[in-house]
Structure 1
Amino acid sequence: MNVQLFIPCFVDQLYPDAAFNMVKVLQKAGCTVSYNANQTCCGQPAFNAGFWDDSRTICGKFLDDFNTEDYIVAPSASCVGFVRNYYSKLFTEGAAAEKAKKIGANIFEFSDFLVNVLGKTDFGARLQGQATYHDSCAALRECKIKQEPRTLLDNVQGLSLTEMQDVETCCGFGGTFAVKFEPISIGMGEQKVENAVATGAEYLISTDLSCLMHLDGYIRKNNSNIKVMHLADVLASGW
């Protein structure tokens, strides 16, 4: 199966190892992976800030950077959810609208693709320790992803998963929300980290590095005894 990679801008710049590990897992699953180095942002930051015309320009480039025949896989439910659910608001007619519809149907978050498209849940990963999982708002509410990451983590040898309290509550990142409403954002992050730590987990895992980046900031500042990991990093462990 041919798969196109979409690597979000913040993953490309700050967490490239997660992208490389996603490639390793996809290749192990038998996929032929391609990457268009001309790709940039999906346009979500500008859209969420209200700059729809600017966002439309960026999103138009996104449509040009990917074909409509092959699946597109990304290590971010936030970006996938934006393309799936909001491109239709920017492109309402003509060829662009039709291409946006086709790409929206073909783009998948990593765990969703592995479980629901490939039908693969065990990659021989090994990671010893206790873990808890954070449902990102985008994964849960925009991509309808709940069980898929947990199924994949259940098949990681040596890893024990414990659910935290208020697991479906937002971590407080929310893109520019964290900047505009910093005290509220910090408080929400604190609550999420403390709930994760209370499980006794050594690892806090999610599909979304945007959430993990926010939570890791609180963890580092407060010397909390827990480590954040993207799902791709976990699935590429031990082999």
Structure 2
Amino acid sequence: VYRLVMPLVVVTAVVALVMLAIAPLALPELVLSLAFIPAVITGLYVATLYVRGKDYLYHTLRCRYYGGEFNLPQFQLNTRLTQAFKEQAPQVRAFYIAELKKCDALLASFEAGFKAGILDDDALERRKDIGKRRLQLSLEWYDLHSNAELGIDSLPTIVTKRLDETIQASFAELQTAMQQNMPKNTACYREKTIRFFDDNHAHPAPDQLLRYPTTRCSLQFFAKVKSKHQRMSALDNLATSITPAT
């Protein structure tokens, strides 16, 4: 009720102040009636600023109190999650928080360029896609954590679908990175690498990649490959563990 009443109070107060301000001018009633419309529009704008400011302040204070956005109660394990995922519930929570943080970091990397208006079409599209992904992750987490209208037997399907999508995206990124870091002197290396990935439908082990001649690159890049592979393997294991046996 408070969230509904206060914006109405703000609108009413703005309209009243505008009417009081122009009352001493002794304007005709028709002019006063015409002035009422912009007064209402101004009131709605001020009410919008009030709601946004209040929500921002409330969220900021809660984050400071709990020690961060992802320490808020809506990101903690509850009976619903533990009932649906058992011992895998902490891993599911960690996965969604990690993906949300990744989206936040990527969006932050675009922020300066976006405000300056210097992003190209590809960057703008990428920024939009990341924003959509973050929204999808947030809605999924709400369904998992708090949506009582969704049965807990449906929750593993939501998570495994998201895990599979994330694994495939990571594998595509790894494939692209491997091709970009190949020796640049032969086109056949590129063809062999593509064929190598096609032959290994599951993501290949990093040591296997290093032994393959087209992927012998710097140790720094290999460390990135190994880290990405370990994450993909962990997501694979999590997806397998929460998928009901048939």
Is the shorter-chain TM-score for this pair beyond 0.5, marking a shared fold? no
Query: TM class by shorter-chain length?
Result: under 0.3
Higher strand share: 1
- Structure scoring higher RCO (CA < 8 A, sep ≥ 6) equals 1
- Which structure has the larger Rg over C-alpha atoms? 2
Higher helix share: 2
Q: TM-score, normalised by structure 2?
A: 0.25
